[in-house]
Every structure is written in structure tokens, then in C-alpha cells.
Structure 1
Amino acid sequence: MSKFRLYLEENNRSPVTQLWREFKRQHSAMVGLVLFISFFVISLLAPFITPHDPYLQVDDLLLLPPSWSAAGLVQYPFGTDDLGRDLFSRLIKGTSYTFGFALLTVAGAMLMGLLLGALAGMSKGVKSSVFNHVLDLALTIPSLLLAIIIVAILGPGLMNTTWAIMLALLPQFVHGIRNAIDEELQQDYVIAYRLDGANDWHVLSRLVIPNIWEKLTIMAAMGISTAILDIAALGFLGFGAQAPLSEWGAMISDSLDLIYLAPSSVAIPGLLIFTAVLSVNLVGDGLKTAILKRRQN
């Protein structure tokens, strides 16, 4: 005998299940998710899956062409650079720097933005007004320009680049979280919860944060693509990762003079940057569409 259900199962699913159902119906979003997971796994396992030492210089293999060329070797799929280092191993290792550090940067900016955005969203009066005006002023400066200014103060290097981009992305996260919290505080159930005697902490932790996690996810996805581009751009300009680190933007900068002799040393890192940003944007757009369809249903 079948079990009696008061509600239809289709309408009684959890929000996460409904969100995943709408997300997986989008083929482009699923392709982006597969690429995103692939980059994430490679960034974690990069030290263990590189076929060669990415920093080992072999004088007999300078500017070796890719393996699909007649003069290439199968042991070096993408060839070598002007110092005889394996490009394939350097690109794998560079995933940890460009993609992995972008994830860490956005995670740090999100945590700080959540704290400051909560303070800005829950505060009222003069303190809130001053905070909002400072945020509006910071948002007028592009994130890359702000990161360059911070790196110029801290000095070049990958770690300083990470902190610079984290601080450059912070105003965007604080602004978005503040607006999301302010919109949530206008809801009727929040007012009813306050009338029951709930304080600001109860409202924030039990009502506001659980109801804005979807917006936080979309902001994080957009922030990751910006962080990838900023890390690569700073590495290309010489402010970010320094030699011999195999960050993708720095690899393009180092190989720019060899573009006619070894075009793959410039094209392949650029293609990886494009693919990484595309995967994040596809996932972000897929999440936004899935959230809208879930709310409509």
C-alpha cells in the first residue's frame, strides 16, 4: 500500500533540490560546472600530477615545439620554453596560482564583506550614512586600478597581489551584501519576528543570512571571474607573481618576446585564462537563471 502524502512531492522539495533541478536543465551551465570542477581539482592536485618539475631547466630542450609538431616530443605535450622548462607542467602548476588563489581571494573577501555588510545593513542613522558614502566612493574606482595602487604600496609578489585583490573586491561585496540585507529587513516576516521579541542578532542569523545565501553565491561567482582576470593582469604587468612562478599571466608576459618563435607559449596560457573565466561565468549565469525559475515555480 502506497504511503499517503498530503502534498505533492514536486512541491515539497527542499530549495537546494529545486535549485539543482533547474540548474542541471541548462546545458551550458553544466558544461561550465564540469570545467570549474576540473580547474578546482587540478589546482588542488597540481603538485602531484605534474609529469616534470615545472622549474627544471634542460639546456638540450630549449623552445621545443608541442608534441603535435613534427619536431615535438610526446613527453612534452605543449613543448618547452626558452629555458627548457616543460610548459605542460608549468600550466598545471599555474592553475594553483591563477585559479586557486582566485578562490582563496574571493573566500576572504566574502567573509570580510559579510561582516562589514552586516554591520552596514543593520546599522542606522549617521553611522550607516557615512559608511554608505565611503562605499560609494570606493566603488567608483575599478577593482584592477585599486589592486594596482595597493600592490604599489605593498610591493610586487603573489601574496601581496592576493591581499590587494581581496581589498579591491571588498567594497563590491560589502555593497551587495548591505543591499541584500536591507531588502530582506523590509519583509513582513522579519517585522513579525521583531514583534515577537527577537533582537538584531537573532534576525541576522536566523532570518537574513539563510535567505540571502543565493545572492551570496552569485556574487561569489562573479567575484571569482574578476579575481582570475586581476591576478593574471597583475602578473602580466609585472606587479603580481614573480619569476620563476608559473602563474598564467606572468607566463604570457615572459613569453611575449617569443610569440613568433613559440606562439603556443603565449596562446595556451591565454586560452586557459579565457576558459577559466568562461566556466565561472557559465556557472554564475546558470545559478542566476535557476534561482529565478525556482522562485517563479
Structure 2
Amino acid sequence: MESTQAQLENKTIEIEEKSSGLWIEAWKRLIKNKTAMFGLGIISLLILAAILSPFLAPYNPIETNILQRLKAPSGVHLLGTDDLGRDILSRIIYGSRISLQVGIISVSLALVLGVGSGVIAGYYGGKIDTLIMRLMDIMLAFPSILLAIGIMAILGPQLSNAMIAIGIVNLPRFARIIRSSVLSVKEEEYIEAAKSLGANDFTIIMKHVLPNCLAPLIVQSTLSIATAILEAAGLSFLGLGAQPPTPEWGAMLSAGRASLQIAPWVVAFPGIAIMITVLGFNLFGDGLRDALDPKMKD
């Protein structure tokens, strides 16, 4: 028994050292990827704008001034004003907070629920696996925006409810990814050794299974943040997400539709903000995927 336990400990140490080396190699590949670094730069600027928005925004984002309505971009208002005279630049800067909040919270919800259900399905298999994965297939059969709208119809139009809806919509992707990883990892020798030594399922999952499934989860989380921001903007555009006067980019697009022909900047700049943000997360996510792929070599 002691010999078997010693072998398991040595195997665990060996795996941890190998894993550490793989992460270092992945980081080296990532920093050499100029496209990924460009995406990371966009994300960094977004985070800084969200943190420093009270200092960066030249005006109060929700303060109206009818005398200044629909002013073109100028030295006074760099990106112009909307139909209520609110400074568009200030609203976009404050909107970065909401976009990050939606992305992080909704993806965290999807990650927790998806990983939990995916681990249970992959580790235990059988009827539990069939039941969980068929439920995920049903959810994936619906277009994501339609499923989100259906959930919002039940919960009500509110930003916090939009986060819940987006989290539920993205849940199946995490469940399928973690399930496939668990199916592969649970067949490893060190998992069988841990079982023979009397380790319970929770210990095996937390200590041996999940740490070896992190790479695909990290990539999917990064890409899902971009999707979540886009979906939140879509819900707000339809009036189901952030409610006025919240400076959310999708809501700004919706409010600016009536003024599109006479003041195109009201719609153009929030749309550009969404595009650049989603582009940044997608570029960084693609770079992460390449860096964490063991088949990728310099």
C-alpha cells in the first residue's frame, strides 16, 4: 500500500511539473503572438476605462442638456451629443463598466453551472450523462438570442436578468467542453490509482480532474465574454436589457435610431465601441487557443 501511495505521489508531482512547464511554454508562445497581444491591449484599455471612468469622462453620463442636443463632434463634445444633450464620449466610457460587468458575471455563471453539470455527466456517465447532455442539446437547438429573449420574457427586462439569461444561454458550451475533457482525463492511470487508495470522488475531481481541464475552459471563457457583451447589447437594443438612462452601448444604439439620418454619430460611436471590444476579446481568445494547444510549436 505504501509503495502504491508513493508511486501515486511521484506521479502527481511529475504531472504538476509537466503542467507547469506547459503553462510557461504557452505563455512564451502567447507573448510572441502579435495579434493576441493587440487584443490584450484592447482589453487592457477597456479595463482601464472602466476603472478610471469617473476621471476620464468629461461630463456626467446621465445629465441631460436639451440646449446641446444632437451636437456634432467638436472640441466641446469630442464625439457629439445625443437627442437629450448627453455627452456620447462620457456615456461610452461609463458603458465600458457595464459591458465588463455583464461579460464577467454572465460568463462566471455559465462557467460554474456548465462545469458542474459537465463534470457530473463526464465523470459518472450512464443515465446521468444522457439526461444532462440531452438537455444541453435541447438548449443548443435554439438560436442563442431567441433563447435569451424567452428567458427575459419570464424574468423581466432588467440588466441583472439579462446577465442571468446570457449565463444560461452560454451554459451548454461549457458543459460540453468540460465533459469531453473529463472523459479523457478520468481514464488516466493516476485517477485509477487515486481510486484504489480510497480517495473519494470529490477529491479526485477537484485535485486531479479539473486542474487538467483548465486550458479549454480558459479559452472558452475569454471567447464567451465577447459573445456575452454582444448578446447583452442585442438585448438592450430590443429594450430587454439595461433600461434608460443607463449608459449601455446597446441601449445607446436603440435610442439613437430615430436620429440616425440627421445625427449618425449617435449610433456610429457606440457601435464602434462594441465592435472594438468584441474584436479584442476574440483576438486574445484565438491567441490563447493557439498558445495552449500542445500541437502548436514555434
> Where does residue 148 of structure 1 map in the other structure?
149
Q: Do 1:109 and 1:166's aligned partners in 2 also have CA atoms closer than 8 Å?
A: yes
**Alpha-carbon offset, residue 238 of structure 1:** 1.4
**Alpha-carbon offset, residue 51 of structure 1:** 1.6
> Where does residue 26 of structure 2 map in the other structure?
19
> Where does residue 45 of structure 2 map in the other structure?
38
* AA matched with 1:200: D
* 1:1-297 map, 5 Å: 14-67=21-74, 74-293=75-294
Q: Do 2:70 and 2:85's aligned partners in 1 also have CA atoms closer than 8 Å?
A: yes
Q: 2:54 and 2:178 mapped to 1: Cα distance?
A: 36
**Alpha-carbon offset, residue 77 of structure 1:** 0.9
Partner SS state of residue 63, structure 1? coil
Q: 2:54 and 2:295 mapped to 1: Cα distance?
A: 40
Give the unaligned 5+ runs of structure 2.
Answer: 1-17
* AA matched with 2:32: R
Compute the RMSD of aligned alpha carbons. Answer: 2.0
**Alpha-carbon offset, residue 293 of structure 1:** 4.9
Give the unaligned 5+ runs of structure 1.
Answer: 1-10, 68-73
Q: Do 2:117 and 2:132's aligned partners in 1 also have CA atoms closer than 8 Å?
A: no
Off by >4 Å, runs of 4+ in structure 1: 293-297
With the length of structure 2 as denominator, give the TM-score of the two structures: 0.88
CA deviations over 1:227-269 (Å, ceiling 9, x no partner): 0110011111111111111111110111012112111111111
With the length of structure 1 as denominator, give the TM-score of the two structures: 0.88
Partner SS state of residue 228, structure 1? helix
Q: 1:48 and 1:14 mapped to 2: Cα distance?
A: 41
**Alpha-carbon offset, residue 211 of structure 1:** 0.9
**Alpha-carbon offset, residue 296 of structure 1:** 5.2
CA change 1:193–1:93 in 2 (3 A) is same
**Alpha-carbon offset, residue 195 of structure 1:** 3.5
> Where does residue 13 of structure 2 map in the other structure?
none
CA change 1:48–1:20 in 2 (3 A) is same
> Where does residue 6 of structure 2 map in the other structure?
none
Q: 1:131 and 1:212 mapped to 2: Cα distance?
A: 19
CA change 1:217–1:237 in 2 (3 A) is same
Q: 1:251 and 1:236 mapped to 2: Cα distance?
A: 8
CA change 1:206–1:12 in 2 (3 A) is closer
